[in-house]
Amino acid sequence: MFFRRSKPRAALRPKFPTLPVGQIIYAIGDIHGRRDLLDELHWRIDLDHRQNGGKGLEIYLGDYVDRGTDSAGVISRLIERSKSKDIICLKGNHETLFEEFLVGKLELQVWNRLGGVETLRSYGIDPSALVSLTPQMRAQVVLAHLPSEHLLFLKSLRHSVQSGGYFFTHAGVRPGIPLDQQKPDDLETIRGPFLGDERDHGAIVVHGHTPCQEPEVFSNRINIDTGAYLTGKLTCVVIDHLGPQFLDYRRSFS
């Protein structure tokens, strides 16, 4: 196995902002319970950091839970990594769904359709055992299985962070609204009005939420949600003094 970075396709790549020499940002797309892919990505990030040095900041764009098989493991990994690395975890719409369920505001069948059944199982909960309970009773059962540090993790999530000409958030921004005035619901869920808008938003928006086969690179945004739970591909964009590049690897067989 050998390691490389790959740049955005030249045909799509405009002139992107760069960071000062010695600063590196690693932005990671939607994980959705794929702890195995997160572990592999951490190995690649650590290797890249050793090779390139500098002060590294990891920004996770949200949607840690649901759909994949180990949501609990993903959160545990991120909590553990935060003890030794400089990381910022942003909030996705699936974390909001999780929180709504924990206070009895989201129906079990609705959450299950969106991948909640896998999240419950990752915490050792049989979803069928909750069917006959009230929403409040279901919430209490889940809270009893949820480590206190996981609940604190959910409560600590931010909606966005801006650095070096880049604005990081889960879904995107409402066009025409200043970045510091964006509403949380838009930052977590927006698609159409944002994805089809070509105007300058005041910074390059790095986002996830809308799965694509390959990372999407436009003059005003970079989408790094490559549908990890289905495709097995968890994407990370690295931003440094050279601008944005994709962290990637290839296997060679002898």
Nearest alpha carbon to residue 61 among 179, 244, 211, 232: 211
pLDDT for residue 230: 94
pLDDT band for position 210 (cuts 50, 70, 90): very high
Nearest alpha carbon to residue 171 among 94, 246, 110: 94
- Judged against a pLDDT cut of 80, whether residue 4 lies above it is answered with no
pLDDT tens, residue by residue, 123-176: 999 999 999 999 999 999 999 999 999 999 999 999 999 999 999 999 999 999
> Phi and psi for 118 in degrees, rounded to 5?
-70, -35
pLDDT for residue 52: 86
pLDDT for residue 10: 38
pTM of the predicted model, to two decimals? 0.93
Q: For residue 34, give every residue at least 6 positions away whose Cβ sits within 8 Å of its Cβ, in sequence order, or none.
A: 68, 69, 70, 74, 228, 229, 232, 234
- Going along the chain from its start, the domains and CATH numbers come out as 28-250 (3.60.21.10)
